[in-house]
Amino acid sequence: MRLVLVGPPGAGKGTQAQYIASNLSIPKISTGDIFRANVSGGTELGKLAKEYMDRGDLVPDEVTIAMVRDRLSEDDAQDGFLLDGFPRNVPQAEILKKMLAEFGVVLDIVLELVVDEDEVVRRLAGRRTCSQCGRIWHVDFDDKKDDICDACGGSLYQRDDDKEETVRRRLEVYQEQTAPLITFYADEEILVGVDAAGPVEEVTHRAMEALAPYIG
């Protein structure tokens, strides 16, 4: 199976990508993993990407796309893959479609993790990070009544990325960039939505049930 996983920040894409890929026995391919592999491996694309990252600039689409192409051509991706974090917009989706056509394959499904905006804010804005050991706690899920890390006794703080105004801005950016992508794949008739609320295991179960008709 060849699928793309999409969803807003806080929907649990990283966690679900790992479980779904494992259940389907296909590689999970994320742009973050690809970047790290190329940079640590010292590839030409990795060196190029590192130049941009070291300057604090975004890595250009053409570099990202070249890395994705290389990764999808590897042996372990020939019988299927799960893409997480790519494509991020319609132009990238169109490029991916052409790329796969060159390989003689198509996407089977695009799985959208659907979660309410207020739930995303609750998940992300409720996180607290330990200033000593780096462990992340949640004010609701871990029933935290104080700002002390239960693991090491360090003080907990809220990262700037986790502040409500930042989370809501990230969601706005997601809607601006990704809402057209959702429409694109709906028009291609390969989009399936899955309720991403609730425990991780329940979401994984719903996802696998949604994928079942497409598993050959």
Task: Please tell me whether 56 is known to bind a ligand.
Answer: no
Task: Establish whether 133 is an annotated binding residue.
Answer: yes
Residue 8 in contact with residue 115, Cβ under 8 Å? yes
159 is catalytic: yes
Establish whether 15 is an annotated binding residue: yes
Tell me: is residue 12 an annotated ligand-binding position.
yes
Q: Is 122 a residue of the active site?
A: no
- One-letter identity of residue 103: F
**122 marked ligand binding residue:** no
Q: Is the dihedral of CA 145, 149, 153, 159 positive or negative?
A: negative
Q: What are the helix (H) ranges across the chain?
A: 13-24, 31-41, 44-54, 61-72, 90-103, 117-125, 164-187, 200-211
Q: Which of 2, 127, 128, 206 is catalytic?
A: 127
Question: Is 159 known to sit in a ligand binding site?
Answer: yes
Sheet of 156-157, strand order: 136-138, 127-130, 156-157
Catalytic residue, from 50, 69, 135, 170: name it: 170
Is 149 annotated to bind a ligand? Reply is yes
CB atoms within 10 A of CB 127: 20
- Consult the annotation and say whether 170 binds a ligand: yes
Whether residue 127 is annotated as binding a ligand: the answer is: yes
Active site residue 55: no
Q: Which residues share a beta bridge with 6?
A: 112
Q: Which of 2, 13, 28, 128 is catalytic?
A: 13
Catalytic residue among 47, 159, 163, 169: 159
Output the known binding site for Zn(2+).
Answer: 130, 133, 149, 152
Residue numbers annotated as active site = 13, 88, 127, 159, 170
Output the known binding site.
Answer: 10-15, 31, 36, 57-59, 85-88, 92, 127, 130, 133, 149, 152, 159, 170, 198
Output the known binding site for AMP.
Answer: 31, 36, 57-59, 85-88, 92, 159, 170
